[in-house]
Amino acid sequence: MNRLEAIKVLQAWDKRGKYVFTKNELYKLFPKDTPKAFTEGVNRLVKDNILTRACRGIYVNPHALSSDSYTIEHIARALRQGEYNYVSLESILSEYGVISQIPLDRLTVMTTGRKGTHKTAFGTIEYTHTRRPFSDIIKNIKQIENRPLRIASKEIAWRDLKRVGRNTNMVNLGELNE
């Protein structure tokens, strides 16, 4: 892959609204490259600031016009493709104004996939596994237009917080019940 070709391909995907890529997605965009040439090409693109390595296997186009304030959620979705993920716990309770602490560099996500923490160039993503049935998850979370991950309602986030044994002392119960 040469630099100009890569820029054109990334710009074309930017016009479609995509600016976060897994390594496998990038590999499909440059099918003529051998695995070694592809890896070297990606490393050059990162070195030349055409791509940013968010974390292992995830890349962000830092020049994308389609980038939004949800970059870390795009990364979270890319890390757990094929699983049901939704913003919950402290992250969404803070958005609802139910807790006073605002987790600036951390996104808390409930997932049907593996639990784990990923430090990225855009903040830390903390996945907490849930065994809740799919039907229960879908009916209790909502999709917000242009937001990559679904979000829990106040009640579900509170239930998740208690269920996983997190600190509930920071929750303003008056705000929670409004």
Q: Considering the chain, what percentage of its residues have pLDDT values greater than 90?
A: 78
Averaged over 60-89, what is the pLDDT?
96
Residue 176, pLDDT > 90, answer no
Residue 42, pLDDT > 90, answer yes
Query: How many residues in total does the chain contain?
Result: 178
Token pair in block for residue 59: 């890349």
pLDDT at 145: 93
Residue 102, pLDDT > 80, answer no
24/153 Cα distance (integer angstroms): 33
pLDDT at 174: 80
Question: Alpha carbon of 81 to those of 75, 78, 149: distances in Å?
Answer: 10, 5, 11
Number of neighbours of residue 11 by Cβ within 10 angstroms: 13
Question: Alpha carbon of 65 to those of 102, 137, 154: distances in Å?
Answer: 27, 33, 32
**Strand 106-111, strand 85-87: pairing:** antiparallel
Contacting residues for 30 by C-beta, under 8 A, at least 6 apart: 1, 5, 6, 9, 38, 41
Residue 133, pLDDT > 90, answer no
What three-state secondary structure class fits 21?
strand
Query: Are 110 and 88 in contact, with CB atoms under 8 Å apart?
Result: yes
Number of neighbours of residue 29 by Cβ within 10 angstroms: 16
pLDDT at 85: 95
Residue 100's Cβ-side half-sphere holds a number of Cα atoms within 13 Å equal to 5
Residue 77, pLDDT > 80, answer yes
Residue 87, pLDDT > 90, answer yes
Question: Alpha carbon of 6 to those of 11, 20, 40, 79, 149: distances in Å?
Answer: 9, 14, 13, 22, 28
